[in-house]
Chains A and B, each alone.
Chain A
Amino acid sequence: MITLYFSPSCTSCRKARQWLESHNMAYIGRNVGKEPLKASDIRAMLRLTEDGTDEILSRRSKVFSKLNIDLDSISTNSLIELIVKNPSLLKRPVIMDDRRIQVGYNEDEIRRFLPREVRQRELLRATVKADFKDIGKALIVEES
C-alpha cells in the first residue's frame, strides 16, 4: 500500500494527491502537521533512500535554520528523533510503498508506483489510439 506524507499547504503535495486520485490509486494519506510521525516511520523511509537523511531532510525549512543543526556532528538516531519532534524538517511530499520511495513530486517518476497491470492498460490504450489514427489516415487516403 502506498503512503503519502503531505502538508495541505504544499503545492507539490496537492499534485501528488491529485495524481494518485486521478489514477484511482489506493493510498494512506498522512498529514505530517496533524498526525505525529513515529521514529519507525522515518526509519522505514531511510531504508528506501539511496543517500540516507540527506534525501528526506528539508535544509530550506525555517525550523532547520532555527534549530541550527550541525549535520556533521549529529547522529542518525538523534536526527530521526528531531524529525519526529519537528515534522517540518521532513521534505514533502514523501510517497512510498514497501519497495520504493519518491521525495518531492515528479510526474514521470511517480509512475513507478502504478501497478503493472495499470501501466499495461495505459500502454495498450496508447497503442490502440495510435493504431486507430493510422487506420483513420489510411481510410482518408483511400477515399481521396
Chain B
Amino acid sequence: MLDVYHFDQLLTKQCLELEKYLQYLIDSNQRVMHLRFVPVIDEQFLSFSKHEQIKMAQQPPVNRQQLAYRLALDFKAAQLEGNKKARHFLMHMQEALVAKHKDYSEDLVQEVAEFLDMDTDDFLHNRMDIDTINALIAEQSYVKDNIAHTTPSILIENYRQNLAECFRNCTLQDLKALFEPDAQTPPTNLPAAHTIFSKKSPKLV
C-alpha cells in the first residue's frame, strides 16, 4: 500500500498530465494506493488578512494567481464529496482551462459539477464558505514545511516497508519510469526511485 501525495501548482499542463497518470494507475488497479492531490497556491495569499482572502474568493479572478486560488477553493469544496470526485472535478476544470483555453466562470464550474453528478447547490455554496478558505490556508503550512514550494513534487510513502521519498520537479516521464519500470521509458530524475520498491518485487501492491 502506498500513500502518494501530489503537490502542484494549478493551471499547468504538467499538473494535468501528472494527475491524469496517477488517476490512471488507480483506475487500472495497477497499484493499491491512496492518492491525495494538494494544490500549492501562491505564497502571497498566506500573508493576506482573512478579510482579504474571503473578499478575493468572492470576486471573479482577475489574474492567473487569483484564478489558481479560486480553483484551489473549488477543489477543496469538491473534496466534501470525497477525493475521487474532487480529483475528477479538477481534471475536468484544468482540461477546460488549460487544454481547451476556456474562460473560468461559474457556469463552467456548474457545468462540470453537474456532469460529475455532484451535489451542485451545496457545492456552489461551499466553494465560497469560510471553512473552505480555512482548510486551504491550513493545508499550505503543511506544504511549506514539507516541500518548500518546489513543484511539482510527488511524495511517496510505503508505510509497510518504512520507505518514503519525495521527488521534486517530477515529470510524467519520471513517474512512468517509477511505476512502470518495464515500459521502455528512460528514467530521468529518479536518483533513489528504486528505494521505494521492495527488493523482491518491483511491482508493489
Q: Which residue in A47, A100, A123 is a CB contact (below 8 Å) of B80?
A: A47
B142 CB contact (under 8 Å) in A47, A51, A98: A98
B7: min CB distance to chain A, Å: 12
A24 beta carbon closer than 8 Å to chain B? no
Q: Report whether B159 and A77 are in contact in the complex, using a CB–CB cutoff of 8 Å.
A: no
**Does A18 have its Cβ within 8 Å of any Cβ on chain B?**
no
Q: How many residues of B contact A (CB 8 A)?
A: 29
Q: How far is the CB of A108 from chain B (nearest CB, A)?
A: 8
A39 to chain B, nearest CB (A): 8
Partner of B135, one of A39, A47, A50: A47
User: Given A44-B135, A47-B80, A52-B80, do A99 and B119 touch, yes or no (CB 8 Å)?
Assistant: no
Q: Which of A47, A100, A108 has the largest number of chain B CB atoms within 10 A?
A: A47
B122 touches A76 (CB 8 A): yes
B1 near A109: Cβ-Cβ < 8 Å: yes
Tell me the residues in window 18-73 of chain A with beta carbons closer than 8 Å to chain B beta carbons. 39-40, 43-44, 46-55
> In the bound complex, do residue A75 and residue B122 qualify as a contact, i.e. CB atoms below 8 Å apart?
yes
Of all chain A residues, which has the CB nearest B85? A52
- Which residues of chain B are within 8 angstroms of A54 by Cβ–Cβ distance? 82
Chain B CB within 8 A of A11 CB: no
Any B CB within 8 A of the CB of A85 = no
Instruction: Determine if B162 and A46 form an interchain contact, defined as CB atoms under 8 angstroms apart.
Output: no
Residues of B contacting A40 in the complex (Cβ-Cβ under 8 angstroms) = 131
A68 vs chain B, min Cβ distance (A): 20
A84 to chain B, nearest CB (A): 13
- Which DSSP category, helix, strand, loop or mixed, fits chain A's interface? helix
A interface vs B, CB < 8 Å? 39-40, 43-44, 46-55, 75-77, 80, 98-100, 108-109, 111-112, 114, 116, 119-120, 122-123
| Residue of A with least CB distance to B123 | A76
User: In chain B, what residue has the closest Cβ to A123?
Assistant: B162
Q: How far is the CA of A100 from the CA of B159 in the complex (A)?
A: 13
Q: Is B79 part of the binding interface, using a Cβ–Cβ cutoff of 8 Å? A: yes
Can you give 12 contacting A-B residue pairs, CB < 8 Å? A48-B83, A50-B34, A50-B84, A51-B82, A51-B84, A77-B122, A98-B142, A100-B3, A108-B160, A112-B159, A114-B159, A116-B164
Q: Is the CB of B162 within 8 A of A120?
A: yes
B81 part of interface (Cβ distance < 8 Å): yes
- Nearest-neighbor residue (CB-CB) of A109 within chain B: B1
Scan residues 133-189 of chain B and give those whose CB is less than 8 A from a CB of chain A: 135, 138-139, 142, 157, 159-160, 162, 164
Query: Does B31 make an interface contact (CB < 8 A)?
Result: no
Instruction: Tell me the smallest distance from the CB of B142 to a CB of chain A, in Å.
Output: 6
A119 to B36, CA, bound (A): 22
By a CB distance below 8 angstroms, the chain B residues around A44 are 135
A47 touches B76 (CB 8 A): yes
Judging by beta carbons under 8 Å apart, are B162 and A119 in contact? yes
Distance A8 CA – B34 CA, assembled complex (angstroms): 29
Asked if B121 is at the interface of the complex by the 8 Å CB criterion, the answer is: yes
